Structure formats: C-alpha cells, structure tokens
Amino acid sequence: MPEHVKQLAQNRKAWHDYFIEDRYEAGIELAGTEVKSIRMGRLNLKDSYVEVRNGQALLHGMHISPYEKGNIFNKDPMRSRRLLLHKQEILKIGARAMQQGYAVIPLQVYLKHGLVKLEIALCKGKKLYDKREAMAEKDAKRDIERHFREANR
C-alpha cells in the first residue's frame, strides 16, 4: 500500500468464501465518535455486506465498537451506514448484484489522506469444492517453497 494509506481492518474470510471480480472504493457516512473508534482500530467486517436499495448503497453488519469517551454521542454499533459512491457506480453495482450468485462484500477499511475509506468487491460465491481446491493449491505452493528453501541451504 502507498505511504498515505493506513489499513485498519480486513475481511480475510471474503477471500476464502468468494471469487473477487470487481473492486470499488467507497466513503462511509459516519458519526464523529465512530470515526474516533475506527481510527483506534475497533471495528469488525465479519459477516458484513452491501445492499443497493432506492438508489443508495447501504453497508449492513459492520460492527464499530462505541467510543469510550463518547457517552451520549455514541451510535448503535451495528447500524446500517450509507456508502458514498458515484450514482453510476451504484447503478452498475446494483445491476450486477441482482444476478444469480453475486454479492457485494466489504474487503477492507483504511485511512486515505485522513479519510475513512472502504474497499468493496462484487463477488461470486465459492462452492465447497472450490474452497477445497484453493486450499490444496495453497498447501502445494507452500510445500514447494519450503522444499526450495531447504534445497538452497
């Protein structure tokens, strides 16, 4: 990642469960205490997804822990948050997500020039045999690298 980008959270499970096809960068509509909590790295992308409804992209299931010093200004940690995308991007994502087997999944949250950004991806779900095949390839690659390192000693 470039110097001006700081990764805050990553959804590793998405890489295991889905084939990643297209990626988009989106802003998130947040409250002040949520931004402070995110900057401290207190968020979780597990089981979150994006839904396009009424011309807006909404992020569901992202947990942002309440800010300790936020008291009455804290929002619900699991509330839906609006994503900030161009209208054409929202329409394109919505049309593709309507197709059978496609989902829009957040991949990572990061700071870019001081702003909180979310990388979302248009994904197609993996079947169980696809997951097994990917794990077998990964294991084989790891074994080859290990044997290569041992041979070069």
Give pLDDT tens digits for 9-66: 999 888 888 889 999 999 999 888 888 888 888 899 988 999 999 999 999 999 988 8
Q: Residue 104 pLDDT > 90, yes or no?
A: yes
Q: Residue 77 pLDDT > 80, yes or no?
A: no
Q: Enter the tokens of residue 11.
A: 């959804």
So what CATH class is 5-126?
mainly beta
Give the C-alpha distances (Å, rounded to integers) separating 80 from 16, 110, 135: 24, 19, 33
Residue 121 pLDDT grade (very low, low, confident, very high; cuts 50, 70, 90)? very high
- What was the pLDDT predicted at 81? 92
Give pLDDT tens digits for 16-25: 888 899 999 9
Residue 17's nearest CA partner among 107, 106, 125, 129 is: 125
- Domain residue spans of the chain: 5-126
Average pLDDT of the residues in 134-150: 88
pTM over 0.75: yes
